[in-house]
Amino acid sequence: MSRKYFGTDGIRGTVGQGPITPDFVLRLAHAVGRVLKRSEDRPTVLIGKDTRISGYMLESALESGFNSAGVDVVLLGPLPTPGVAYLTRAQRASLGVVISASHNPFADNGIKFFSSQGTKLSDVWESDVEATLEEAPVWADSASLGKTRRLNDAAGRYIEFCKSTFAHDLSLRGVKIVVDAAHGAAYHIAPMVFHELGAEVVAIGCTPDGLNINHEVGATHPQALVRAVKESGAQFGVALDGDADRLQLIDGEGRLFNGDEILYLMVKERLSRGQNASCKCSEESVPGVVGTLMTNMAVELALKAKGVELVRAKVGDRYVLEELEKRGWVLGGEGSGHLLALDKHTTGDGIISALQVLQACLRSRQTLAQLLVEVTLFPQVLINVRLRPQQEWQTNTQLAAATKSVEQELGNQGRVLIRASGTEPLVRVMVEARDASQAQSCAERIADTLR
């Protein structure tokens, strides 16, 4: 279904350029409000944001747009995306709205929405909003205008929720953790969660100024965390992104663990407690988790050895969530650090994912490296090939032959993934193999057929 404004994760762009302008955002909120009013007489919408300077402007535009359609607004202030999802459900609100561009630099911003159940909304709903945007506004009269109030303890409520997902018989007392909030929405929340669970916390990336979100800190720039862990002698480092739905972990040696490895650890911890690895269905159901087309093959093989099926979805946590819901499973994620544990939360949550892994280390009395001793990630080589105008790659017989040859050479010790970029005239050639040089040479052979 073609959409003009909505992408895979809401509406996003550079501030001051369409669609991230105050006039459009006001119209967007008015249209969303009209859609809500079709099924509810007096809807209430929660609005949270990250720490970008543009958040103030966009928050005001959203507030006006919703009020003008007769929708009440509750302002949450700076709050992680998963925190908005949680409070939308807990407050029985009609809708949750997040002002954030996630891991992007401060000059970008975006708007994304959560249903009353704290889940992402469907393509059909987004298309309904876009159709309403094309209609003339229907301004509410003075007596019908929406009202706005602020939920002053939003951060405290979300902190308690995060803590509730950690095992009640465990404590982080005696554990030193460096927490990097990317100068983003969790700057005042993530350190408190770990501190209140008993940890000694060293905070970095927790002094936002409106312009420094994700700048050389956070999950997309973990080098700062690696340095801080080594300098402080901490056992763990936790890196979030600007809206705190993404996680990267560092151990005391400064080794970085990505989302694929963290997903494996979450499964392993549940298996160690005798749980049906990741299924909320009946016990006879086949346990499984959902990764993406980019999930490392080493993790897939390690899960298979434990009797756990890995199903691959398209790249994007939205598609991982869709696959989990379809199968009734609860664990899934991406290498980028978007991780889902649907028995803990309705959406990806970096803080909660970190707590699940720390729980595994405490229960097993092992380090991250020890827990992952059976997983050595396969080298992945990614080559982007720019297409010439009108160049057809799907029907390229040389490409098909080279791909088949490489797949035969790799057997079950590697794989090939070829896909088009969604934003540029590029074909992405990815080869994964146990041997890095073999992965490189195979990727080059395939890419050469497109050049």
Query: Which residue among 64, 68, 94, 102 is the active-site one?
Result: 102
pLDDT band at 2 (very low <50, low <70, confident <90, very high): low
Per-residue confidence (pLDDT) for residue 283, from 0 to 100: 36
Residues 88-124: pLDDT tens digits?
999 999 999 999 999 999 999 999 999 999 998 988 9
Whether residue 281 has pLDDT greater than 50: no
Whether residue 308 has pLDDT greater than 60: yes
Please name each of the domains of the chain with its CATH number: 11-152 (3.40.120.10), 157-255 (3.40.120.10), 258-371 (3.40.120.10), 380-448 (3.30.310.50)
Local structure of residue 119 (DSSP, 8 states): -
Using CA atoms, how far residue 64 sits from 57, 58, 71, 226, in Å, is 11, 10, 10, 43
Whether residue 277 has pLDDT greater than 70: no
What rounded mean pLDDT belongs to the chain?
93
Residues 184-242: pLDDT tens digits?
999 999 999 999 999 999 999 999 999 999 999 999 999 999 999 999 999 999 999 99
Whether residue 280 has pLDDT greater than 70: no
Local structure of residue 97 (DSSP, 8 states): E
DSSP secondary structure letters along 126-152: HHHHHHHHTSPP-PPPGGG---EEE-T
Using CA atoms, how far residue 333 sits from 115, 253, 339, in Å, is 21, 25, 4
Distance CA 99, CA 58 (A): 7
- Per-residue tokens: 150: 């602020």
Residue pair 420/427 in contact (Cβ under 8 Å)? The answer is: yes
pLDDT band at 282 (very low <50, low <70, confident <90, very high): very low
Mean per-residue pLDDT, 159-166: 98
Q: Among this protein's residues, is 102 annotated catalytic?
A: yes
Whether residue 381 has pLDDT greater than 50: yes
Distance CA 142, CA 187 (A): 39
∠ CA(175), CA(369), CA(201), 5° rounding?
Answer: 20
pLDDT over 90, % of the chain:
88
Mean per-residue pLDDT, 153-166: 98
Q: What is the pTM of this model?
A: 0.91
Per-residue confidence (pLDDT) for residue 275, from 0 to 100: 52
